[in-house]
Structures are given as C-alpha cells and as structure tokens.
Amino acid sequence: MIYFLNLISLVAILFIVSSLIHFLITGNTPPLITPSSTREKLLEIIDLEKDSVFYDLGCGNGGFLIHLSKRFPKTKFVGIENSVIFYLVSKIRVFLSGRKNIKIKFGNFLYTDVSEATHLYMWIFVRDMDKLLEKFSKDLKNRAKVYSLGFTFTDKKPKEIVKVGNGKDFARIIYVYEF
C-alpha cells in the first residue's frame, strides 16, 4: 500500500514538474482540464451531426474528446497538442478507450490546417486568440462554430455567451462564435 502511494506521489510530482517545464519553455497555456460542470454545459450546447468535424485545439489529455465522442459516435474528432507528454497521454487514452473516430495530432494549432472543421473548442491563453482569429477568418468556412472557454477575440463579437452556474467561478464562461 505504501509502495502504491509513493508511486502515485511520484507520478503526480513528475506531472507537475513536466507541466511547469513545458510552460516555462513554450509559454503555452498550462495543461488544465476543462472542469466537469463546464464539460456538461458544452455537451448541452454543442450539436454535432454525422458529417460534423470537431477539433479540440490543445486537447490536453484527450478526455474531453473521448467524452464527446461517446455522445456523438458518428462524428469525426481531432485533437491537436504540442506537449509531448500530453500528446502521448491522449494517444494512449484514445487507444484504450477503443474510440475509432478520434485522431490525435502532434503539432502547434497555429500552424495546423483546420479548414475541415465545422466545430472547434479551445481553452487557451488570450495571447493566442487573435492569432487564431486571423487564421480562422481565412481557413474556416460553412459557418463553423468556435467555442472558447474564458477568452475572447479582440475584434469579433461572440454570437452567444453561455455561463456555467453564475459564471463567476474559474473557467465557467463559454464564448460561442460563428465564422
């Protein structure tokens, strides 16, 4: 039992240290996971069909994609992640989940082709938002929907603002955009 607890502590410490190093090197959004109440709200408002293509930009551990893909088994899901650790973790999780409709790509979402996407989700630093606005304005078509947790584009108004609960807690406001 003590051996098991030590192992868990070691894994937790490795996780925290590697996240910190990743953050210091890349300046990227830290790999936080969308809170479960926010995930549930997203599940209520995201409506996918069999020909929809859903991207999670910065998919972290892949948990949100796995969750969504169970609800929408006919939709194609793509996760993009540029942290080696989280890329590998999400690949393994997707493999273990047996979901065939999720693809995890290693790379920087700023330079990845997302033109096939009909729906995109992201929870990223405000610094990257306006870079993505430029990219989305060029690449996205067919009235693609973008769900941004917590952060807005400077020069585009959200079509809808969805609050989780009173919207005051951390990561509880979803901005919905249409391109």
Ligand X SMILES: C[S@@+](CC[C@H](N)C(=O)[O-])C[C@H]1O[C@@H](n2cnc3c(N)ncnc32)[C@H](O)[C@@H]1O
150 versus 158: smaller Cβ distance to ligand X: 150
Residue placing its CB nearer to ligand X in the complex, 30 or 165: 30
Classify the C-alpha dihedral 61-62-68-71 as positive or negative. negative
Residues 52-71 that bind ligand X (CB under 6 A): 56, 58-60, 63-64
Q: Which residue is at the shortest CB distance from ligand X?
A: 58
Residue 108 sits in the site that holds ligand X (CB under 6 A): yes
Q: Pairing between strand 145-149 and 119-122? A: parallel
Residue 175: how many other CB atoms lie within 10 Å: 20
Smallest gap, in angstroms, from Cβ of residue 125 to ligand X? 7
Q: Considering beta carbons, is residue 7 or 12 the nearer one to ligand X?
A: 12
The smaller minimum CB distance to ligand X, of residues 1 and 102, is found at 102
Question: Within 123-142, which residues bind ligand X (CB under 6 A)?
Answer: 123-124
Distance CA 80, CA 83 (A): 10
39 — phi, psi (to 5°)? -55, -45
CA nearest neighbour of 120 among 68, 59, 56? 56
Task: Note whether 90 and 59 are within 8 A (CB).
Answer: yes
Footprint on this chain of ligand X (rule: CB under 6 A)? 28-29, 31-34, 56, 58-60, 63-64, 80-83, 86, 108-110, 123-124
